[in-house]
Amino acid sequence: MAGSVISVNTSEKKGMRKKPVPEISVSADFGIQGDAHASSDWHRQVSLLALESIKKMQEKGLDVHPGDFAENITTEGIDLVALPLGTHVSIGATVLGEVSQIGKECHTRCAIYYQAGDCVMPKEGIFIKVLRGGTVKAGDPVEVLPDRS
């Protein structure tokens, strides 16, 4: 299964929409340099959300774009929530991640939830732990690697 990176997004503080940036630097066992969620003590080092999920919210009439759901990497062409935990995902030329969580519990309702009555990130976003670092930018390939077992 292969797709592509639509947008890369960061924020300096947690709980905020992320802003698209030209390129991100991803470090192994840490996450994205300069992003609030990066940490070696954390299994949710990088978040991914499919453009297809964002389009669902746009169809509900919301003016939302990549990064608005606080995802680090917006992808297209891969059914992210169908990936089992432990799946390896190659992003760009060198980044390798392992799916560490699918969806998340929202402890507080975000602005998107109040606008639409729903939010896609808790159900359709995924998180990866970074196994190998590198740089990622829009247009880079995203590939689900075959099961190693």
For 7-29, what is each residue's pLDDT tens digit?
999 998 877 789 999 999 999 99
Residue 57, number of CB atoms within 10 A of its CB: 21
Is residue 149 situated within a structural domain? Answer: no
pTM of the model: 0.91
Is residue 47 situated within a structural domain? Answer: yes
Beta strands in the chain (DSSP E): 2-10, 19-21, 24-27, 31-32, 46-50, 73-76, 88-91, 95-102, 126-132, 134-136, 141-144
Is residue 78 situated within a structural domain? Answer: yes
Q: Each residue of 27-56: pLDDT tens digit?
A: 999 999 999 889 988 899 999 999 999 998
Going by pLDDT thresholds of 50, 70 and 90, the confidence category of residue 113 is: low
For residue 55, what is the domain's CATH number?
2.40.33.20
The CA distance from 91 to 138, in Å, is: 11
Check whether 145 has a pLDDT greater than 80.
Answer: yes
What per-residue confidence (pLDDT) applies to 89? 98
Taking alpha carbons only, the member of 67, 89, 81 closest to residue 11 is 67
Is residue 120 situated within a structural domain? Answer: yes
Question: 18 lies in which domain range?
Answer: 2-144
